[in-house]
């Protein structure tokens, strides 16, 4: 018996489900375009086998360990943060003992997909099957077809983007390029460490930026030139986009004089939170200006309170599953940027949200008007069947389909990439099937849209 039903996520009534099956059949084997994620370029430059099932599934995936942590299982028990796992089978058994916690979650869908499709496992993971799973996965990881480059090919990935600090040497990306391998792994410019004064080590990062570029980054003009130089470096290694994870969507458009004074303030020891927020706001507008000049697509995804669990952050550092969504104001926040650049046809800004209340009230009307704006897919906490359904229902009526950009998986876990894309394709097939069943679309239009939502819109939006 398979772990996953072939009709999973399709509409329950037979007529609409039949349409969804046909639409999904048209797109299920299309290539994966992954323009926004957090996998590691080193996996593909070194092409070394994953050590064990824990290193592959548990350690890199905060969706997994945040759920376990919420039930009182410590990160120490899961050996999170260790460079080398001491007792991987023990950790795997703990994970298997608690696999029931993922019932009804998208994580369960992703994991079962990987277990079934990549490893041929058809019994449900549990305490009784933990060792069977571990041994089967461990054995296959030693085979050549489970090396990262082989998995890239098996998954039919067309392009895979990483997310990288502007201070990163990108040596692993260079190694991929110089190896002659045909896979396309490209960086994404994530400037938060040197544009967010609240970022740990911000002032030291500004100094390093100056060393890397030969610019005087203690001056406003030198700092901006240094950022432009690094953007060009990222472009030289294939980057097509930037990525901005600010706490809010606030933007500003200060005069040169005021921006210069603000930069001096945030570099000082006396910077206030008001200074820091205004500087982040100004830098979003500066990044938009640079995008018009160099063509990089701009992604903005505000609204996460990072490292909400202070004790966890102090012990383990960032990205430990303790980032929590907050409400976000896009209409007022983006207004300064849009007043200056909103009508620029050369600019593409992709907006993401963790605040679903903004779909029909703010984001869809904004993207349905401004030429530079597109809507990113349901993301992070909303990368789920229900989240995708709510997004399509609330955004399509005002923004349409063509002001969206397809799907991105935003993952740190390599084997979840095809699973996540499969969920998105099934949900889009079901949504389009409903429109056909209601006689709001002809089926040939739905077929065309299904392909656009799968590969067409993302290639166009991200210039891939």
Task: Give the Cα separation of 301 and 371 in Å (integer).
Answer: 19
Task: Give the Cα separation of 114 and 87 in Å (integer).
Answer: 23
Mean pLDDT across the chain: 97
Share of the chain above pLDDT 90, in %: 95
Comparing 376 with 319, which gets the higher pLDDT? 376
Q: Spell out a b/e string for 33-43, using b for 16 or more CB atoms within 10 Å of the CB, else e.
A: bbbbbbbebbb
Segment 103-114 shows an average pLDDT of 97
Task: Specify the long-range contacts of residues 274-280, CB closer than 8 Å, at least 24 apart.
Answer: 275/197, 276/196, 276/197, 276/198, 277/247, 277/248, 277/250, 278/252, 278/254, 279/195, 279/197, 280/195, 280/196, 280/197, 280/246, 280/247, 280/248, 280/250
The confidence band for 316, taking pLDDT boundaries of 50, 70 and 90, is: confident
Beta carbons of 347 and 291 less than 8 angstroms apart? yes
64: exposed, middle or buried (Cβ count in 10 Å: 0-12, 13-18, 19+): buried
pLDDT (tens digit, 9 = 90+) per residue, 425-456? 999 999 999 999 999 999 999 999 999 999 99
Q: Looking at the predicted structure, is the pLDDT value of residue 328 above 90? A: yes
Strands 324-325 and 304-305: antiparallel
pLDDT (tens digit, 9 = 90+) per residue, 3-17? 999 999 999 999 999
Task: Give the Cα separation of 7 and 205 in Å (integer).
Answer: 50
pLDDT (tens digit, 9 = 90+) per residue, 123-170? 999 999 999 999 999 999 999 999 999 999 999 999 999 999 999 999
Q: Looking at the predicted structure, is the pLDDT value of residue 295 above 90? A: yes
The per-residue pLDDT for 1 is 77
Q: Looking at the predicted structure, is the pLDDT value of residue 319 above 90? A: no
The confidence band for 320, taking pLDDT boundaries of 50, 70 and 90, is: confident
The confidence band for 318, taking pLDDT boundaries of 50, 70 and 90, is: confident
Segment 298-326 shows an average pLDDT of 92
> Residue 391 carries which DSSP code?
H
Tokens of 161: 């983007």
CATH of 49-146, one of 1.10.2020.10, 1.10.357.10, 1.10.260.40, 1.10.10.10: 1.10.2020.10
Q: Which stretch of DSSP H or E encloses residue 230?
A: helix 220-236
pLDDT (tens digit, 9 = 90+) per residue, 181-210? 999 999 999 999 999 999 999 999 999 999
The confidence band for 60, taking pLDDT boundaries of 50, 70 and 90, is: confident
The per-residue pLDDT for 271 is 94
The per-residue pLDDT for 321 is 84
Helix 220-236, helix 256-267: angle, nearest 10 = 90
Task: Give the Cα separation of 42 and 297 in Å (integer).
Answer: 24
The per-residue pLDDT for 380 is 94
Q: Phi and psi dihedrals of 242, rounded to 5?
A: -110, 170
Q: Looking at the predicted structure, is the pLDDT value of residue 281 above 90? A: yes
pLDDT (tens digit, 9 = 90+) per residue, 349-401? 999 999 999 999 999 999 999 999 999 999 999 999 999 999 999 999 999 99
Segment 231-247 shows an average pLDDT of 98
What CATH topology corresponds to 14-48+147-461?
A: TIM Barrel (3.20.20)
The per-residue pLDDT for 186 is 98
Q: Looking at the predicted structure, is the pLDDT value of residue 224 above 80? A: yes
What are the domain boundaries of the chain?
14-48+147-461, 49-146
Q: Phi and psi dihedrals of 223, rounded to 5?
A: -65, -45
C-alpha distance from residue 209 to each of 214, 215, 241, 318, 396 (Å): 8, 8, 19, 22, 42
The per-residue pLDDT for 82 is 87
Q: Which of 86, 91, 141 is nearest to 118 (CA)?
A: 141
Beta carbons of 98 and 73 less than 8 angstroms apart? yes
């Amino acid at each position: 018996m398979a772990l996953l039903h072939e009709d999973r996520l399709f509409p329950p009534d037979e007529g609409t489900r039949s349409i969804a099956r046909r639409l999904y059949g048209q797109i299920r084997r299309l290539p994966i375009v992954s323009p926004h994620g957090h996998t590691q370029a080193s996996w593909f430059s070194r092409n070394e086998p994953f050590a064990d099932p824990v290193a592959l599934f548990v350690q890199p995936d905060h969706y997994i360990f945040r759920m376990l942590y919420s039930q009182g299982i410590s990160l120490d028990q899961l050996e999170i943060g260790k460079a080398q796992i001491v007792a991987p089978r023990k950790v795997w058994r703990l994970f298997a003992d608690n696999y029931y916690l993922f019932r009804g979650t998208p994580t369960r869908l992703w994991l079962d997909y990987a277990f079934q499709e990549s490893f041929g496992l058809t019994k449900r993971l549990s305490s009784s099957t933990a060792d069977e799973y571990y041994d089967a996965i461990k054995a296959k990881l030693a085979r050549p077809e489970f090396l990262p480059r082989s998995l890239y090919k098996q998954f039919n990935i067309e392009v895979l983007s990483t997310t990288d600090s502007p201070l990163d040497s990108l040596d692993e990306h260079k190694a991929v390029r110089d190896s002659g391998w045909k896979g396309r792994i490209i960086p994404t410019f994530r400037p938060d460490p040197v544009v967010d004064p609240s970022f740990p080590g911000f002032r030291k990062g500004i100094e390093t930026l100056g060393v890397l570029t030969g610019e005087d980054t203690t001056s406003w003009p030198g700092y901006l030139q240094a950022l432009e130089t690094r953007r060009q470096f990222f472009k030289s290694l294939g980057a097509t986009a930037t990525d901005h994870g600010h706490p809010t969507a606030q933007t500003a458009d200060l005069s040169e004089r005021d921006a210069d004074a603000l930069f001096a303030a945030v570099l000082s020891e006396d910077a206030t939170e008001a200074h820091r927020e205004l500087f982040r706001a100004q830098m979003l507008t500066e990044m938009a200006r640079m995008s018009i000049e160099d063509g990089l697509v701009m992604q903005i995804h505000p609204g996460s309170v990072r490292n909400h669990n202070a004790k966890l952050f102090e012990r383990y550092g960032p990205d430990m599953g303790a980032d929590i969504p907050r409400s976000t104001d896009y209409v007022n926040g983006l207004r300064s940027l849009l007043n200056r650049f909103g009508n620029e046809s050369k600019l593409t800004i992709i907006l993401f949200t963790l605040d679903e209340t903004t779909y029909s009230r703010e984001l869809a009307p904004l993207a349905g008007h401004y030429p530079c704006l597109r809507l990113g897919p349901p993301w992070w906490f909303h990368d789920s069947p229900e989240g995708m359904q709510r997004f399509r229902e609330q955004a399509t009526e005002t923004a349409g389909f063509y002001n969206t950009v397809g799907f991105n998986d935003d993952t740190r876990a390599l084997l979840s990439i095809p699973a996540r894309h499969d969920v998105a394709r099934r949900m889009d097939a079901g949504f389009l099937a409903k429109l056909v069943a209601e006689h709001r679309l002809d089926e040939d239009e739905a077929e065309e849209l299904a392909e656009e939502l799968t590969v067409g819109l993302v290639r166009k939006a991200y210039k891939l």
